[in-house]
A and B are shown apart, each in its own frame.
Chain A
Amino acid sequence: MSGWRLPSGGRLIERSQLLDFQFNGRLFQGFEGDTLASALMANGQGLLSRSFKYHRPRGLLAAGWEEPNAFLGLSAPRAEPNVLATTERLVQGMRAHSQQGWPSLQFDAMAVADLLHRWLPAGFYYKAFKSPSWAWPWFEKALRQAASQSRVPQVPTDDVELQGHGRRFAHADVLVVGAGLAGLWAAWSLARAGASVILADDAPRPGGRWLDRPSGQAVDAWIDQALAELDACPKVQRWPLTQVVAQHEHGMFVAIDRSSPGRERIWKLRVRHALLATGQIERPLLFGDNDRPGVMLAGAVSSYLHRWGVAPGHRMVLATNNDAAWTAAFEAQDAGLQVLALAELRHEVHPDLLAQAQARGLEVNLDTRVNAVRGRSQIRAVSLADSHGHTRWLQADLLAVSGGWSSALALHAQVGGVSRYDTQLHGMVPDGALRHKCIGAVTGAQGTAACLQSAAAGAGMVAQQLGLTLQPLPMPQVDREHVGCSAIELGASGRGRVFVDFASDVTYDDLALAKQEGYEATEHLKRYTALGMGPDQGRTSSVTGAVLMAHMRGLGAGALGATQLRPPLTPIPFGAMAGSESGELIRPVRLTPMSGWHKQAGAVMYESGQNWRRPGYYPRSGETMAQAIERECRTCREAVGLYDSSPLGKFEVTGPDAAQLLEHIYACKVDDLKVGRGRYAVMLREDARVLDDGTVFRLGEQHWWLTTTSGQAQAVHAWLESARQVHFQGRLQVFVTPVTDQWAALVVCGPRARELLAACGSDIDLDKPAFPFMAWRQGHLAGHPVRLFRVSFTGELSFEIHLPAGRALALWTYLVQTGRGLGLAVMGSEANHVLRVEKGFISVSHEVDGCINPLDLGLAWAVRMDKQDFIGKRSLQRDLANPQGRAQLVGLLVEPNEAPLEEGAQILQEPPPAHPEQSLLASAGFVTASVWSPSLNRAVALALLQDGASRHGQSVSVTAATASSLTYRRARVVAPVFVDPDGGRMRG
């Protein structure tokens, strides 16, 4: 390109501040306030990238977010691919590079794809490269390489700042999206009326398209006045460089603050009302080779001239079908460009415009279209064709095109707003119930007066709903504007390929192919050709594509709607979405009072249940994981163990009707429990599948204590409240209080458990006659008020100590200290797991898979079918009537005695299939838990096996997978208990 910096002007640049930057290793200079694109243009760098599929040379088409070509990679000040040059602010020392083009941007070997375009139409990969099939892996690799647009930057990991800015939230009466004239008017008007307003705009300065006009106009003074008042108003928040990227229901919006590139911040907004002043996006024209560098949107020419004081070329031709683009030609001439000709597609225009052009000495050609362009990396000449077909060449290096303007309706559409094609405006405008939230040019309003009128109407509706009164505002003075547009040109003219979507390299012929193949609907067209799927999301192409397809199908221009637009509006960095939730903070963490102690004792911490961190095992120096677990298990079975069970779900249920509620919830009987006693209890879902298991103790006549698994604590809470409020309709006199976090639970278990508690000093009689199994006692232990529950998860003599969480650490430390003399070992969840598997006790996260009822688990003793209706009873009746073939809990002894089976391994029907790969089709069950048992010195497992209860003694095949193969192992089915089957140890 032959871009050059104007000697003066540029609203956004600071000419006194020079910035150095590099592009593809070459040194350039720009000004503070430049974008990367404007600075490159000022330095005459017109060739910026290679297109996606055909690797055609590309430059700048536009000046803002609608730019489809200029995606560059950055290596400084940050490493980031796919940065849009037209929106990236230039900073000192910026280093940018083009992303496609090998070995170089100028000489790209892959440009051969352009020569082969006849064999690479849309969807070619559905048809080509299918045979020979052995070659497909090579083709796939080559295609993936060719299709990639950028490289993930190689950054040393300690340089990476993982934490982005945290998400923030804001509330207001009104959100105004877009600070062009309409948005400014609405915000100003509502601010004066007393509403709280957030005005968000993605540009560094407000004014919208007025920034594209020469400065020093009457409107500028109006804008300054509006800003002064808005910025002085405490109820107004004005957010420049903040783009609203999503609209959700009920006034929820997502905005991204892009003022710190590389550390963007997400804002979540909840507003009572919103006004969308999102404006319009210009469309290019359709002609052969319309994607060459040097072909630019007419509005973008004005943008570069007046925002950044840069001219895209020296000798310009304007090709257009609408009045607004003529301004670009006039302004270009004023800036010092040579405007060779105006090529107007319409055959008549307003006489005022003609008069203006004549007064300026500009050549006007009506009924004239662009026929062709010459030049590959930069256009050198433009060929115009008149209505008779006569063509002539003009030596131009800049072709400004304008095919009309499309409303930016993405935000409106995201929340279900519909649009319709306006045959006079030749574009989509908002329609339907939500259209009143759109104000300004986006509604199709043409000219400043109409835009402001629509803004006033929108603000008026909002004010009325807020109960506020609008006050008059001064009107800006504007020159007479001309508005008028003709339809999108439908024919492909001249030679060369006509590009419709630049970002995805979709041509007019691709649309014709899609029609031929039957992909006629816009959604199909999009997916088949990739029209609108690029990072620009079809901003400059989707309306044109829809109109073209409608024409090809013989329908009216507006017959086909736009494709469904979804948030976000523009690409959002993952870092912004993560915000501060990364690393340690990626999820909330729940800790027990002993968590610090566990970590200090060298525990390997696991994530468990609902966000809990629990110790898995406590390896001593030199111990492997297996050795540590075995030691912990042995100590528990032979001496005494201590573990932290605080994440246990706990509930207090109180009130005269508490028993009635619990009778309905549990499968067992609870109302016959005496005060001081408890029971193992199972909760079922309505379909009789096990929801949770735990214990229920009677603390008082109307006072009950429930424990649940830690992972299901919230589900049980929901369950209890559902029964109380929905099933019993709140008629019962009962309170349910979750107290999981308020009470810590420490478990002392093993043959010497009583000794340890006695050594700590207690006023509770711990002997068996006074304190039997499944009873609870209240008193003191080492001076702390406690409740003791004789509950055993390990199968050993076990006391669960419950005390207020604030006291737990002190008691824990005292127990550890006192226990030293008794050979105490602190146990983690791994040892717990081994011990409970040895006993055949179920764990909801292993043996319960959503298909299992308590009878399958051998818990018939925990179910009282003679009870009145309880949750699950009806489905249990059905299950009892159909007992055959149900999976049942069994134990497995691995034979010969080798390493443990894999959890999840499939148990196969006998005889097993010849090929292990078919084993899933012949599954008769699976292994739910598998451990090395220190008590038996062999591998044992629990499993769910079809009709398992009647198969004790049989030998079965179990799958075993290695990295490369699937084989069988043998195991013998036994009763699901391996140690102390009578339970004498825990009852002692």
Chain B
Amino acid sequence: MIQLPCPLCGLRSAHEFVCMGEHSERPAQPEALDNAAWAAHLYNRDNPDAPVLEMWWHLHGCRSWLRVRRDPHSQNILGCETAGLGP
């Protein structure tokens, strides 16, 4: 079980978090996208064999939503920061 360096709580076991998966930034103007582009944002994810941006939620901790950059090979956490200004 990997550990995540929560910026507020410190290094915590992944048990405390809920992994929300690979992140796709919500387009600023959804109406401006056609159906195909909107569907791509909703459903398509790159799932690359490379470090990927994921969203994790620290449910059993500070309840921050965290932007986590994780390398799926080494499981190294390359970045972990709060999504917004904080909880």
Residue numbers in A under 8 Å from B75 (CB-CB) = 249-250
Q: Which chain A residues lie closer than 8 Å to B85 at the CB level?
A: 729-731
Q: Does A346 belong to the interface (CB within 8 Å)?
A: no
B57 touches A718 (CB 8 A): yes
B-contacting residues, A684-735, CB 8 Å: 686-687, 714, 717-718, 721-722, 724-731
| Minimum CB–CB distance for B53 against chain A, Å | 12
- Inter-chain contacts of B83 with A (CB < 8 A): 725-726, 729-730
Least CB separation from A724: chain B residue: B84
Contact status A874-B38, CB under 8 Å: yes
B65:A726 contact, CB within 8 angstroms: yes
- The reply to whether B13 and A728 contact each other, CB–CB distance below 8 Å, is no
B18 sits at the interface (CB 8 A): yes
| Structural contact, A248 and B18, CB atoms closer than 8 A | no
Q: Which residues of A contact B33 (CB under 8 A)?
A: 874
Whether the Cβ atoms of A726 and B84 lie closer than 8 Å is yes
A877 within 8 A of B: yes
A233 to B86, CA, bound (A): 44
User: Is B38 within 8 A of A718, CB to CB?
Assistant: no
Which of B20, B33, B84, B85 neighbours the largest number of chain A CB atoms within 10 Å of its CB? B84
Contact of A875 with B by CB under 8 A: yes
B1 sits at the interface (CB 8 A):
yes
Given contacts A250-B2, A416-B73, A416-B74, contact A725 B13 (CB under 8 A): no
Contact with A along B2-34 (1 / 0, CB 8 A): 110000000001000010100000100011010
Interface presence of A209 (CB below 8 A): no
Q: Which residues of B contact A877 (CB under 8 A)?
A: 31
Contact residues on B (Cβ < 8 Å of other chain), bracket: 20 to 34
Q: Judging by beta carbons under 8 Å apart, are B74 and A725 in contact?
A: no
Q: Which A residues from 715 to 768 make CB contacts under 8 A with B?
A: 717-718, 721-722, 724-731
Which A residue sits closest to B38, measured CB to CB?
Answer: A874
Q: Is the CB of A726 within 8 A of B55?
A: yes
Contact with A along B48-87 (1 / 0, CB 8 A): 0000000101010001110000000111000000111111
- Measured CA separation A874–B31 after assembly (Å): 6
Do B65 and A687 touch across chains, with their CB atoms under 8 A apart? no
Chain B residues with Cβ below 8 Å from A878 are 35, 38
Q: In the complex the two chains form, what is the Cα distance from A724 to B82 in whole Å? A: 12
B17 → A minimal CB distance (Å): 11
Residue of A721, A869, A878 with most partner-chain B CB within 10 A? A721
Q: Are A727 and B26 in contact (CB under 8 A)?
A: yes
In the complex, A270 has a CB within 8 A of chain B = yes
Give the CA-CA distance A248 to B1 in the complex, in Å: 7
A714, B57: Cα distance in complex, Å: 11
Kindly state the separation between the CA atoms of A874 and B42 in the bound complex, as whole angstroms: 11
Number of interface residues of A (CB under 8 A): 27
Nearest-Cβ distance from residue B69 to partner chain A, whole angstroms = 15
A-B contact count (CB 8 A): 71
Task: Say whether A873 faces chain B, with CB atoms less than 8 Å apart.
Answer: yes
Q: Are the CB atoms of A725 and B65 closer together than 8 Å? A: yes
- Whether A722 contacts B38 by the Cβ 8 Å rule is no
Within 8 A of B (CB), among A868-914: 869, 873-875, 877-878
Q: Closest CB-CB distance, A316 to chain B, in whole Å?
A: 49
**In the assembled complex, which residues on chain A have CB atoms less than 8 Å from the CB atom of B1?**
248-250, 252
Question: Which of A722, A726, A877 has most B Cβ within 10 Å?
Answer: A726
* Docked pose: A249 CA to B83 CA in angstroms: 25
B31 contacts A722, C-beta separation under 8 Å: no
Report the Cα distance A961→B30, complex, angstroms: 45
- Contacting residues of chain A (481-512) with chain B, CB-CB under 8 angstroms: none
A725 and B87 contacting across the interface, CB-CB below 8 Å? yes
In the complex, the chain A residue whose C-beta lies closest to that of B64 is A725
Query: A724 CA to B84 CA in the complex, in Å?
Result: 8
Question: Provided the pairs A686-B42, A730-B84 are in contact, do residues A249 and B73 lie with their beta carbons within 8 angstroms?
Answer: no
How many Å lie between the Cα of A721 and that of B73 in the bound state? 30
Name A729's closest neighbour in chain B (CB-CB): B84
Question: Which residues of chain A come closer than 8 Å to B20, judged between CB atoms?
Answer: 718, 722
Q: Which residues of A contact B74 (CB under 8 A)?
A: 249, 416
Q: Known: A249-B75, A727-B26, A728-B84. Is A875-B65 also a contact (CB below 8 A)? A: no
**A72 to B65 Cα, complex, angstroms:** 53
Question: A718 touching B18 by the CB < 8 A rule?
Answer: yes
Determine the distance from Cα of A114 to Cα of B23 in the docked complex, in whole angstroms: 58
A878 to B85 alpha-carbon distance, docked (Å): 33
- Residues on A with beta carbons closer than 8 Å to the beta carbon of B42: 686-687, 875
A464 to B13 Cα, complex, angstroms? 25
CB A873 to nearest CB in B, in angstroms, measures: 7
Q: How far is it, in angstroms, between the C-alpha of A847 and the C-alpha of B53 when the chains are bound?
A: 34
**Shortest CB distance A274–B (Å):** 15
User: Which residue of B has the minimal Cβ distance to A715?
Assistant: B18
- Determine the chain A residues whose CB is within 8 A of the CB of B31 once the complex forms: 869, 874, 877
The reply to whether A869 and B84 form a contact with Cβ atoms under 8 Å apart is no
Residues of A with C-beta under 8 A to B35: 878
Q: A877 CA to B13 CA in the complex, in Å?
A: 41
Nearest chain A CB to B60 CB, angstrom units = 11
**CB of B62 to closest CB in A, whole Å:** 10
Which residues of the other chain, B, contact A718 by a CB distance below 8 angstroms? Answer: 18, 20, 57, 59
B7, chain A: closest CB distance, angstroms: 13
Q: Flag if A722 contacts B57 (CB, 8 Å).
A: yes
Contacts of A869 in B (CB 8 A): 30-31
Hey, which chain A residues are within 8 Å of B87, CB to CB? Answer: 725, 730
Expressed in whole angstroms, the minimum distance between the Cβ of B83 and any Cβ of chain A is 5
State in angstroms the CA–CA spacing of A728 and B86 once bound together.
Answer: 11
The contact of A721 among B3, B26, B30, B57, by CB within 8 Å, is B57
User: Which residues of B sit under 8 angstroms from A875, Cβ to Cβ?
Assistant: 38, 42
**CA A878 to CA B3, docked complex, whole Å:** 41
CA distance A88 to B43 in the complex (A): 53
Query: In the complex, what residues of B have CB within 8 A of residue A726's CB?
Result: 26, 55, 65, 83-84
- In chain A, what residue has the closest Cβ to B42? A687
| A725, B38: Cβ atoms closer than 8 Å | no
Known: A248-B1, A270-B13, A728-B84. A721 touches B55 (CB 8 A): no
B65 CB to nearest A CB, Å: 4
Rounded to whole Å, the gap between the CB of B12 and the closest CB of chain A is 11
User: From residue A731, how far is it (CB to closest CB) to chain B in Å?
Assistant: 7
Q: Which residues of B contact A252 (CB under 8 A)?
A: 1-2
Chain A nearest CB, measured from B19 CB (Å): 11
CA distance A724 to B85 in the complex (A): 10
Residues of chain A contacted by B26 (CB below 8 angstroms): 686, 726-727
Shortest Cβ gap from A868 to chain B (Å):
11
B18 cross-chain contacts in A, Cβ below 8 A: 718
**Which residues of the partner chain B approach A249 to less than 8 Å between Cβ atoms?**
1-2, 74-75
A418 nearest CB across to chain B (Å): 12
Distance between A363 CB and nearest chain B CB, rounded to angstroms: 55
Alpha-carbon distance between A248 and B20 when the two chains are bound, in angstroms: 22
Give the Cβ gap from B23 to chain A, nearest Cβ, in Å: 9
Q: For the complex formed, measure the closest distance between the CB of B42 and the CB atoms of chain A, giving whole angstroms.
A: 5
Query: Closest CB-CB distance, A412 to chain B, in whole Å?
Result: 15
- Cβ 8 A contact of B82, one of A714, A717, A725, A874: A725
Q: Which residues 219-274 in A have Cβ within 8 Å of B in the complex?
A: 248-250, 252, 270
> Complex formed: what's the CA distance from A256 to B87 in Å?
39
A687 CB → nearest B CB, Å: 5
| Alpha-carbon gap, A878 to B87, bound state (A) | 34
Nearest B residue to A688 via CB reads B42
When distances are taken between beta carbons in the complex, the residues of chain B under 8 Å from A730 are 82-87
- Given A721-B57, A878-B38, the answer on whether A873 and B30 have CB atoms closer than 8 Å is yes
Chain B residues contacting A270 (CB-CB under 8 Å) are 3, 13
Bound form: Cα–Cα A252–B13 in Å: 10
- A to B CB contacts below 8 Å, 5 in the list: A250-B3, A721-B65, A726-B65, A726-B84, A728-B84
Additional A-B contact list (11), CB under 8 Å, known A721-B65, A878-B35? A249-B2, A249-B74, A249-B75, A250-B3, A687-B43, A718-B20, A721-B57, A722-B55, A729-B84, A730-B83, A731-B84
CB-based closest 6 A-B pairs: A730-B84, A730-B85, A874-B30, A725-B84, A249-B75, A729-B84
Chain A residues at the B interface, C-beta cutoff of 8 Å:
248-250, 252, 270, 416, 686-687, 714, 717-718, 721-722, 724-731, 869, 873-875, 877-878
